[in-house]
A = this chain, B = another copy of it.
């Protein structure tokens, strides 16, 4: 077997949810891959995670076993599930509801999902402690990854799944490009876990058994039970006109009094909720890629996926789902490319061209949908915080707007997306050689 016909080798940079699902999708399809993770183990920041209906459907297509593992870990509710919005400023009443589905939008701890999925990955497919320094695409198609420890590895395709502060993104867009860095959305969060008896005493029985969001001026608040109902997860999101340097850490020490002030004229119920916060806690700045979007997700045989490509705020709960959709499309087009490379077609393009064609197809299929998410997430948080001038605090106007945003996410036809990606790959493949992108 000549190098020209040798199977495609994929380097996955980053072992978060997008990287691990991509690995499992490639594994299922018999594609050679290696994960390079800079941490000494699989890691995911952020505590809670929910999987939207589109993410669930995508997981099934990635690999039924990956889906089964997900279902084992997820906390099932097995009944009709709703998002419910409360006017937290005036009435403390539920003013909007959105049906999600049956047994849908399940969640849990990020690290639990990642741990369970990563058990499906053989140890020799992962290199921990490998931090990418630079990447170079050779004329012959080999891609060299150089790590900060001076070591190097070769691949045919590199996918950066290295998160919101992606190094791979810097390497395909340039360190001087503002699109290489996420920017502050002028929102930040406080998050805490409250023992359920304490939460029940403050909020009553009704609100602690399901998911609720409290809306009001320039802030919102979400609560939901976790740990089999032993704890209430409390998330406050505050608007902040201030500045947060792009190159600074996204977490900083915060002060409960900031939250108390932000909610001081809200309904007593919400103020009681804010009182549950400990006196000292970190605040978490929400960054995204809305102001300076990536102009493309691939350059030649190197691409970015998940937050590395289109980091969004968490307010629509769809970042992981979009990363999973990216991973599924990538696994599908890389499978098609690998088949083309190994096949005996006489008029075949060079391996490097076939690999690029796969990533061009990925970019074409995913770009518009994924680029939509950061802006849609900003729209959502403005709706939640009564900052949308057309909607304000009017629940009649709120309901159709928020429904449109969520359904754009949830209603994605996963099977058609995969078929469309392979079709697009074949179209690009049938075209001439491409010098770039």
Inter-chain contacts of A158 with B (CB < 8 A): 176
> Which residues of chain B come closer than 8 Å to A177, judged between CB atoms?
137, 171-172, 174, 299-300
Judged by a CB distance under 8 angstroms, whether A390 is at the interface is no
12 contacts between A and B (CB under 8 A): A135-B175, A139-B246, A170-B174, A171-B174, A172-B177, A174-B174, A174-B175, A176-B299, A178-B299, A178-B300, A179-B436, A292-B435
Q: Does A241 contact B (CB under 8 A)?
A: no
Q: Could you mark each residue 172-215 of chain A with 1 if its beta carbon is under 8 Å from any beta carbon of chain B, else 0?
A: 11111111100100000000000000000000000000000000
Known: A136-B247, A139-B183, A243-B139. A291 touches B435 (CB 8 A): yes
Query: Which of B137, B171, B176 is the one whose CB lies under 8 Å from A134?
Result: B176
Judge whether A295 is part of the interface by a CB distance below 8 angstroms: yes
**A296 nearest in chain B by CB position:** B295
Give the Cβ gap from A110 to chain B, nearest Cβ, in Å: 28
Complex: A183 Cα to B295 Cα, angstroms: 24
Note all chain B residues with C-beta closer than 8 A to A180: 174
Asked if B175 contacts A295 (CB within 8 A), the reply is: no
Distance from A244 Cβ to chain B, minimum over Cβ atoms (Å): 9
Question: Is residue A168 contacting chain B, with contact meaning CB distance below 8 A?
Answer: yes
Q: Please, how many angstroms separate the alpha-carbon atoms of A273 and B183 in the complex?
A: 62
CA distance A290 to B136 in the complex (A): 18
A66 adjacent to chain B (CB < 8 Å): no
**Which residues from chain B contact A268 at a C-beta distance below 8 Å?**
none
A171: chain B residues at CB < 8 Å are 174-177
A302 within 8 A of B: yes
CA distance A246 to B295 in the complex (A): 25
A interface, CB within 8 angstroms of B: 134-139, 143, 158, 168, 170-180, 183, 243, 245-247, 291-293, 295, 299-300, 302, 435-436
Question: Contact partner of A178 among B173, B291, B436, CB < 8 A?
Answer: B436
Q: Tell me the bound Cα distance from A183 to B243 in angstroms.
A: 43
Q: How far is the CB of A291 from chain B (nearest CB, A)?
A: 6
CB-nearest residue of chain B relative to A133? Answer: B175
- Residue of B whose beta carbon sits closest to that of A173: B174
Neighbouring B residues of A435 by C-beta, 8 Å: 291-293
Which 10 A-B residue pairs are closest in the complex by CB-CB distance?
Answer: A171-B176, A135-B176, A174-B174, A172-B174, A177-B299, A176-B302, A134-B175, A171-B175, A172-B176, A173-B174
Please, which residues of chain B bring their CB within 8 A of the CB of A293?
435-436
How far, in whole Å, are A293 and B295 apart by their CA atoms in the complex? 16
Closest chain B residue, CB of each to CB of A171: B176
Query: Which of A139, A143, A179, A291 has most chain B Cβ within 10 Å?
Result: A139
